[in-house]
Structure 1
Amino acid sequence: MDFPTHAAQVLAQTEVLARELHGAELRTPVPSCPGWTLGMLVRHIGAGHRWAAEVVRTGAALDDTELRVLHGDDSGVLPGDWLVEGAAALAEALLEVGPGVDMWAPFDLDGSTFWARRFANETLVHRADATLAVGLPFTAAPGVLAESLDEWMDLDVQPEHFTITPRKRDLLGPGRAVALEAPGARWFVDLTGEVITWDRGDRRAAVTARGSLADLLLLVYRRVPASAVEVEGDAALLDFWLDHVAFG
């Protein structure tokens, strides 16, 4: 998926969210984000889009305190127009600066390209949170879901995680490998070396989780338990891996 498509996905996924949850009450609990209401989730999404738009416009590392201010007035219904406005502002900022523009980004990743990809996928996952909260099925195009899993893998193998979360090194060891399989797609996570690596290969893993692309995405983001997918092999290793890679 290229840069313009990622930028477009930020807006497209937000528009789907606003349409699917039109009239949803903000006090609705969000089970996949324990302790959150739909209002808290909406404020997080909308503030995140607006914050990222400023990062892209300025290239600077901006204070993100506002993203953590979740409490507010939950007496109304989902503010779809406000959500879409924030997503549109981010998409516009991204397209104005273009891909590969140097600016602040975590792990020194590729500036504007990182932000387009990150917020396309963050918006997708938070749409899943909102959709599931109101009892609707979460669906997206296979290519969108597979790309989101690719991005999750790319972020998870960043070696800086070992400094941020030293316990993640506990994952490494001989014979340790995890595979995720969906119809027509496979991800292989190699935990046997000095760092974590991944590819789309078909090597044998100690444990394999099989399910739909949507279920696998929700699994790695810890939105559903391992029981939501078929597990073959060392189930304890899968649980251990999921416990040590949780983010997002």
Structure 2
Amino acid sequence: MGTDMGLSAEYYLEQLTAEAARLREVAQLGLEAPVPSCPGWTVETVVRHVAQVYLHKVEVLKLGALPKPWPPEGIDEHDAFELYDEGLAAVIAALKQAGTTQQTWTFSPKDTTTGFWYRRMALETVVHRIDAELAHDVVTPIAAELALDGIDELLYPSLGGPWWDESWTKYPIDATLRITAEGRSWTVGADATSVTVTQGSEGDSAAEIYGDPGSVYLWLFGRTGNEAIQTVGSEDVVQAFRGRLTEATQ
């Protein structure tokens, strides 16, 4: 299975490093601050979560499979910043050692290479950087190129993977919806048992969501309100789609 990376490995590593540094910088403003985008979380929860994600992916890259059991015993006893620094250094080293073409476990049926994790770690970090910034009301922009790539990844595999099944969702969708940002469009067709995601704006749609890349990406991820984007067409479809995405990315 070939790599499905949207951008270069070098770009992802640069973004991962920069976004991780910003997350740490903001977290130093106070670990106790509540995170409005993640009810029940504090900034310390975010820092520890990201650190564990990094360490988990180190093991995935080492084993080519999911580590079991996980997490390691005693991991919560570590200082939050020490754990974060350890995890970041380890995942960057593991990615560089693995390269982008080795076979490994991923959650994408279209990409089972180590390159998948370059992209995922950069995008994981940017979303949680935003969480920390929201907690301290110091939000800064996302690079447009990374945000567009994030929209692409969020639609597939996060939303449109083989696990699509509306038998459990609170937000059923039976419609076609379009997302547009900075000249790029994605058309999403969804029913009770399947979803298709295609590049472009061919065909009719029940609704369209559009705006600048960062705003659209954060709205899709549930990090901003409806004021951040613009829509045309059925508001019911738009809100059902937003709810479905929130479920898929929790």
Per the shorter chain, which TM-score range?
A: 0.7 to 0.9
- Aligned match of 2:4: none
Aligned-partner SS, 1:103: strand
Amino acid at match of 1:186: S
1:187 aligns with 2:186: yes
Q: Does the 8 A contact of 1:46 with 1:86 survive in 2? A: yes
- Aligned match of 1:7: 13
110-119 or 150-159: bigger deviation: 110-119
Gaps of 5+ in 2: 1-6
Aligned-partner SS, 1:66: coil
Q: Does the 8 A contact of 1:29 with 1:36 survive in 2? A: yes
- Aligned match of 1:37: 42
Over the residues paired in the alignment, what is the CA RMSD in angstroms? 2.9
1:62 aligns with 2:67: yes
* Counterparts in 2 of 1:54 and 1:71: CA distance versus 1, 3 Å: closer
Query: C-alpha deviations, 1:91-133, integer Å up to 9, x for none?
Result: 2101101112112222554131222221111111111111111
1:236 aligns with 2:236: yes
Alignment of 1:13-28 (within 5 A): 13-19=19-25, 21=26, 23-28=28-33
User: What is the rounded CA distance, in whole Å, between the counterparts of 1:72 and 1:177 in structure 2?
Assistant: 47
- Aligned match of 1:177: 176
Gaps of 5+ in 1: none
1:46 aligns with 2:51: yes
Q: Does the 8 A contact of 1:43 with 1:70 survive in 2? A: no
User: What is the rounded CA distance, in whole Å, between the counterparts of 1:133 and 1:140 in structure 2?
Assistant: 17
- Aligned match of 1:202: 201
Q: Does the 8 A contact of 2:101 with 2:114 survive in 1? A: yes
User: What is the rounded CA distance, in whole Å, between the counterparts of 1:96 and 1:177 in structure 2?
Assistant: 42
Q: Percent identity?
A: 24
Normalization by structure 1: what TM-score?
Answer: 0.83
Aligned-partner SS, 2:177: strand
Query: C-alpha deviations, 1:128-147, integer Å up to 9, x for none?
Result: 11111110123121111111
More strand by share: 2
Amino acid at match of 1:161: W
Q: Runs ≥4 in structure 1, deviation > 4 angstroms?
A: 69-73, 168-172
- Aligned match of 2:136: 134
More helix by share: 1
Alignment of 1:142-181 (within 5 A): 142-155=144-157, 156-162=159-165, 166-167=167-168, 171=172, 173=174, 176-181=175-180
User: What is the rounded CA distance, in whole Å, between the counterparts of 2:32 and 2:192 in structure 1?
Assistant: 46
97-106 or 28-37: bigger deviation: 97-106
User: What is the rounded CA distance, in whole Å, between the counterparts of 2:171 and 2:225 in structure 1?
Assistant: 21
